[in-house]
Chain A
């Protein structure tokens, strides 16, 4: 009986020792990682627009019913073209805002007349975000001209999945994790155009 009790005590002691060591190891490990994460920042998903090939996967692969990816207009880069190849379908019959003339399947690109300059009408093209499905058709069209339209993950919508489903489906590996403090990536030329305006 006494031997049995000793045996129990020894087991308990060993168990306690292993637990303490285990807890300390876990704490140390977490502390080490916490120190690491102090150096590197928390990350979220974003599209590199210079790598993006507008394949259309963003519209279909997002876990949200309505994709978190939307088209963004860089107004500084937009040349206010008429006709706009991002707005009009190449085979459009009339240059009107009728649905059959538009490239956007949901009519999310809004065309607003601004002024006429030397007989050339100038339009501003806005993205109506609530209608945009992130298919990238307008981005593809706009690339024929200045390429001021580009796709971005909108962070008010993105749920920041641990593994982004679009990133897995992206054929050009344009999706990557970016620091949460700089949540958007700009096209290089869009950035240049914005900076030009900022400096002037």
Chain B
């Protein structure tokens, strides 16, 4: 008892001392002979050379995937490369940095001159884009760890109805727009924050993220690559570039014989049948629609942009400053009881409320401009999609749709011409009877 009293009195004395000193003045450090003041150690960050190793691995993997998809036409090779990429970029490097997330670094560097994007991140952003421009989405096939993990899970793919596929296919552009807005305003990197697979790569993470990732993988058993097709913002950049690609994978090695064997081969719905000749009436109707759409699209974009201004406040909610201002305001007006860690921290800084509110209002203003651009962007994407679906196209063979095809190589094996190339059969007539010349394709 006496000892406890002594301890308590010791502490009280100390506190008194501090209080007496006005809490601002520091107790001086006693000089003790023969005792040198130790210094804390500060370990250096990971050296940059390792980052350049990542870039080298990326370049080699990209080159390999192009070679395997276009030259060797080896599904097995691509599959092994995908596993390798998953192991290196996914589990070894723990998913950071990746090409998908690098979009945000690039955007932040453009909007904030004090932030510099490192050359390695820049390489992660640009290399796959350039490769796609020439060779199609071979990056998605076997280099991207997010693609690779889904590739392994696409076990029982079902066909997604075309209308749904097309509609959901717009989501990546919207996500890209939102990610750009939040990166440019310095709010957060939402692509990284909501990356569904990174928790698996690290074998740790919040329960929410693990559940989200598990959902994507389970859905991925039946709907091939759900993230790549319906969410990936980097895919949204790759799609149009891939459509321009010079050397893209072809299903048959040489000429297509329209045997239809590959029709259901693609788990990602990227194989398109030959087009049917349109009747004159259909063609006329399509042309009218096209003219109408072209005339309407600027109106759509303008209207959506105007409507997007209203998004300023809801969009800004993700910004910590705006959140804080809202909370402080609620506390001030007595609409909520108690304080949060954030509001406590704010009060302890002694920063005036009005300054915080002014900052929040400025943010609202900034975000309404961003909302306007975002609205316009979404409308533009929809307009382009509608125009694109109404454009007349001519295909004489079964072909991989360049935008959606991820060059995974699953379809090669289905093609009898490929079997001939591999020397497994003598000629295509062994397996398939060529359809009659009139082509009664539905």
Contact = CB atoms under 8 A, between A and B. Distances in A.
Interface of A: 15-16, 18-19, 22-23, 26-27, 29-30, 33-34, 36-44, 51, 53, 55, 57, 63-65, 72-83, 85, 88, 90, 92-95, 114-115, 117, 122, 124, 126-127, 144-146, 152, 154-156, 158-163, 165, 168, 171-173, 177, 180, 183-184, 189, 193, 197
Interface of A, secondary structure class, is loop
A65 to B, nearest CB: 5
Interface stretch (B186-194, B254-262, B288-296, B306-314): B186-194
Contacts of A79: 26-30
Contacts of B345: 51, 53, 55, 171-173
B15 interface: yes
B212 to A, nearest CB: 14
Contact of B7 (A80, A83, A155): A83
Interface of B: 3-4, 7, 10-11, 14-15, 18, 26-30, 32-35, 37-40, 42-46, 48, 94, 96-97, 101-102, 104-106, 109-110, 113-119, 122, 125-126, 129-130, 133-134, 188-190, 192-193, 198-199, 202, 204-206, 241, 244-246, 320-321, 340-342, 344-346, 348-349
Contacts of A30: 122, 125-126
B244 A162 contact: no
Contacts, number: 195
B27 A81 contact: yes
B218 to A, nearest CB: 23
Given A72-B40, A74-B40, A117-B30, A171 B341 contact: yes
B344 to A, nearest CB: 7
A93 B10 CA distance: 12
Contacts of A41: 116
A37 B193 contact: no
A145 B29 contact: no
Contacts of A77: 26, 29
Contacts of A159: 94, 96
A92 B7 contact: yes
A146 B27 contact: yes
B350 to A, nearest CB: 13
A36 B116 contact: yes
B46 A155 contact: yes
Given A22-B241, A42-B116, A145-B27, A162 B104 contact: yes
